[in-house]
Amino acid sequence: MQILITSPSLNETENVSGISSLVREIISASACEFSHFIAGRKDSDNEGVGWIFKQLILPLQFYRKIRRESPDIVHINTALVPRSILRDAALTFAAKIAGARVVLHLHGGRFLIEDFDNRFIERITAAMLSRAERILVLSDFEKEHLTKRWKDLNIEVLPNAVSIDKCPPVEKNSDVKTIIFFGRIHESKGLDEIIEACKTLKSEDLTFNFRCFGAGPEKDVFIAQMTKILGEKFYYGGVVAGENKWRELAEADIFLLPSRYGEGLPLAMLEAMAARCVPVVADVASVRSVIKDGENGFMVEPYNAAQTAEKLKNLLSGKANWNRLSENARKTVEEKFSISEYITKLEKLYAEIRS
């Protein structure tokens, strides 16, 4: 079966993207034949005239690729934010004009849960969704939310998944815990809450290391502020990929992602849990379908730096049983989010749509 699939660049050094990470896993693990179409900018791209021109001709390029390759399925990955909606609505329209069957795969975005603040964008979203043979979402929570808005959509739940066997065996340092942030360095990830929480922990003389990996528009400011607070206890390692990424996760103890909005089901969180990191994450979107507070991690309210600091304090001080939480985090991914079961479900879905 031939599948044309979209995502940002699959080069891990060019994009800090959960969608790209998942697409790499799909292409690697599936028996289907995949052709990749780049939709989404690189982290280094400047949004000048050249970039705008590329976006304008993207639907035509997509149409031509479909006509040339005649795939059985076109799998469009998107997020419900204005730029992605406009781009991927055009790609969906181009695919339908070319006579293709479309799977539309939603990966978070502000308007997945929040109400639209622009009626034009809302109408474009509705048109895009209505053109898909199947819509994939990451949890029952997302399906329920979309169904309340639009009654006649063909929606299926397919939670994200990771390759659990890629994590190397590493003896974690039991004396000084390491907190890790891994992802796009953007205000939506709760950067201000991280900064304020670290100030609180530092003021209470709690000892820990903080390692940060990724890229994004707030990178320089975030690094400067964290270095000012933690000094040599803070380390920024840029964009890390492959074996190096898994080793960093394996050597860390706590995965921190107090996102404010826009999450779907973060791949980085699942990878960290597979590496036996205890997640401290915001109670947003499909994250709540994975994390059971106090059992396999901790949940915090978005925009709540004090609560973030308190949950971290419980782990750093030994009040919370890190070993139990760590093993439960790993067990959760093993039982519910392994890539092998994910691929089986996805290939079955492809076959149903093609028939």
> Cβ distance 245 to 255 under 8 Å?
no
Total of domains in the chain: 2
* Distance from C-alpha of 162 to C-alpha of 268, rounded to nearest angstrom: 9
CB atoms within 10 A of CB 71: 24
Residues in CB range of 210: below 8 A, 6 or more apart = 178, 179, 180, 181, 198, 226, 230, 233, 234, 235
Residues 110 and 202 in one domain: no
In a shared domain, residues 12 and 123? yes
Looking at the fold, whether 150 and 239 belong to one and the same domain comes out as no
pLDDT (0 to 100) of residue 332: 97
Residue identified by tokens 């934010």 is 81
Say how far apart CA 309 and CA 15 lie, in whole Å: 29
Q: What DSSP string describes 50-87?
A: HHHHHHHHHHHHHHHHHHHH--SEEEEEE-SSHHHHHH
How crowded is residue 194: how many other Cβ atoms within 10 Å of its Cβ? 25
The pLDDT of residue 48 = 64
Asked if pLDDT for residue 46 goes beyond 70, the answer is: no
| Structural domain containing residue 291 | 164-336
Q: For residue 43, what pLDDT band results from cuts at 50, 70 and 90?
A: low
Average pLDDT over the chain, rounded to an integer:
92
pLDDT in tens, 303-341: 999 999 999 999 999 999 999 999 999 999 999 999 999
Q: Say yes or no: 255 and 275 in one domain.
A: yes
State the Cα–Cα distance between residues 115 and 107, nearest whole angstrom: 17
Q: Are residues 155 and 177 in the same domain?
A: no
166-209 confidence digits (pLDDT tens): 888 877 767 899 999 998 999 999 999 999 999 999 999 999 99
- Residue in 115, 100, 160 with CA at minimum distance from that of residue 286: 160
Res. 44: pLDDT tops 60? no
Quick one: 216 and 231 in the same domain? yes
What is the average per-residue pLDDT within 241-261? Answer: 94
pLDDT of 127 higher than 80: yes
Q: Are residues 252 and 113 located together in one domain of the fold? A: no
114 and 67 in a single domain? The answer is yes
Burial 82-104 (b: 16+ CB within 10 A, else e): bebbebbbbbbbbbbebebbbbb
**284-305 pLDDT per residue, tens:** 989 999 999 999 999 999 999 9
Within this chain, do residues 91 and 137 fall inside the same structural domain, yes or no?
yes
Residue 278 confidence class, pLDDT cut points 50, 70, 90: very high
Residue closest to 90 by CA, chosen among 56, 50, 139, 141: 56
Amino acid making up residue 258:
P
Tokens of 81: 């934010």
> Distance (Å, rounded) from C-alpha 26 to C-alpha 29?
5
Are both 317 and 349 inside the same structural domain? no
Task: Please give the full DSSP string across 274-343, using - where no structure is assigned.
Answer: HTTPEEEEE--GGGGGT--BTTTBEEE-TT-HHHHHHHHHHHHHTSS-HHHHHHHHHHHHHHH-BHHHHH
- Per-residue pLDDT, 167: 81
- Residue 51 clears pLDDT 80, i.e. is over it: no
Of all residues in the chain, what percent are helix, strand and coil, respectively (each to 5)?
50, 15, 35
Q: What is the mean pLDDT of residues 55-84?
A: 94
82-103 pLDDT, tens digit each: 999 999 999 999 999 999 999 9
Return the CATH number at 305: 3.40.50.2000
- Assess whether 143 and 63 both reside in one domain: yes
| Residues 107 and 8 occupy one common structural domain | yes
Q: If you average pLDDT over residues 56-73, what whole number do you get? A: 95
